[in-house]
Amino acid sequence: MRVAVIGAGVIGCATALELAKRGAEVVLLERAVPGSEASSAAAGMLGAGAEIDEDDPEQIERLVRARDAYGPWIEELRGETGIDVGYRVSGILIVMTGDPVERERLTRIVALQRARGQRAELIDGVQARSIEPELSADVGACAYFPDDSQVDPPALLRALVASLAKKRNVSLRSGAVVERMLLEGGRCTGVALAAPPAAGQSNVVQADATVLAAGSWSSLLPGIEKELAPVRPARGQVVQLEERPPRLATPIVRGPAYAIPRGDGRVYCGSTVEFVGYRREITAGAVRDILDGTIRTIPSLAEASLSSTWMGFRPHAERPLVGRSSIPGLFWATGHYRSGIVLAKITADDIAQSIFASS
């Protein structure tokens, strides 16, 4: 079984790894540097409270399952590569804003999680400050998810690439721009690259199965517009601060602003959600809003140094597009929007299972 995977973000890398473990010969095609798009820009929150937009019980169930799959997966990756991916069960505190809709949404999420035997609590400001003393005195009611965890996405991507490099049945080609799917007799038989890998070589990659994991660029490939629900970029801007010595210990979310301490002094502060096409900009207004929001909630961050800024494009779709497409031989692994890091492992499992089931 030969499988072509388009895109080496967290989804493409995790899927390629899972397929390789199950014995497939995998060609992973990446136009740029593996992991250099949304996957390395992410906050890396692994939870079912903060980065979701709806209180869909099925989605929450899937996110909790995905979060719980992380511990064993990370151990396996560490064993293979020796890379520490910053996995920590640090809990996540979500500060209730004055917005009654948000308050109701969080109350429902806590109730749903508790009904499934998960630890989740509604707490007051005093309890919240006993968990995280850096919280401002104006913080009142919060939702607390003590079993939520985090990972450092660039480190995760390094570990995935290192693990792929050890697999004899994986060929990871960066600088390989997929131009189109090969569609023959109604079946997908691989992909055509924009340019051959080397002079005299073919630009065609034949495959028994092809996985589209091209993130925010998935809808740009020609010939699949009717089959694939639209995937569009949702820009997220990020500011990274550094505290010496580290003070903040718990990830804090308040409205659109959040602060994720990495444990070593770095504090990841996000983020915006902007539908502005593929514009790669860091805007003054976004940096101001992110800093305003985080410093209002965690006043000591005003003393931290601003070390860097970046942005990424979340692949937005109505819901994640995972599994067989209506074209035989072609599988979707895209549209993970705000949850692609947490969902990576279970998406990889689902895709590998459906490819082997259909062979």
- Give the footprint of ligand FAD on this chain (CB under 6 A): 6-12, 29-32, 36-39, 41-45, 51, 177-178, 213-217, 236, 238, 270-271, 312, 314-315, 334, 336-342
Least separation, in Å, of the C-beta of 255 and ligand FAD?
A: 15
- In the bound state with ligand FAD, the residue whose beta carbon lies nearer, of 30 and 132, is 30
Least distance between ligand FAD and beta carbon 265 (Å): 19
CB of 290 to ligand FAD, least distance (A): 10
CA distance 356 to 339: 25
Cβ distance to ligand FAD smaller for residue 135 or 290: 290
SS3 50: coil
- Smallest separation, CB 33 to ligand FAD (Å): 8
Look-up: residue for tokens 């902007």?
A: 274
CB 153 within 8 A of CB 341: yes
Comparing CB distances to ligand FAD, the nearer of 96 and 160 is 160
Nearer residue to ligand FAD within complex by CB, 115 or 204: 204
Rank residues 36 and 127 by Cβ distance to ligand FAD and give the closer one.
Answer: 36
Helix (H) or strand (E) holding 82: none
Could you tell me if 298 and 248 are in contact, meaning their C-beta atoms sit under 8 angstroms apart? Answer: yes
Distance of closest approach, residue 48 Cβ to ligand FAD, in angstroms:
10
The 10 Å Cβ neighbour count of residue 84 is 12
User: Rounded to 5 degrees, what angle do the CA atoms 272, 140, 250 make?
Assistant: 60
* Residue 249 · residue 261 · CB < 8 Å: yes
List of residues 6+ apart from 121 with CB closer than 8 A: 110, 143, 144, 146
Residue closer to ligand FAD by CB (options 24, 351) is 351
Q: Which amino acid is at 35?
A: G
CA dist., res. 31 & res. 177, Å (int): 4
The minimum distance between CB 137 and ligand FAD, in angstroms, equals 27
Q: Which is it for strands 92-95 and 252-254: parallel, antiparallel or unpaired?
A: parallel
Strands (E), 159-277: 170-174, 178-184, 187-193, 204-206, 209-212, 232-242, 252-254, 257-261, 266-270
The smaller minimum CB distance to ligand FAD, of residues 138 and 320, is found at 320
Cβ at position 124, least distance to ligand FAD in Å = 26
CB contact at 8 A, 135 and 297 = yes
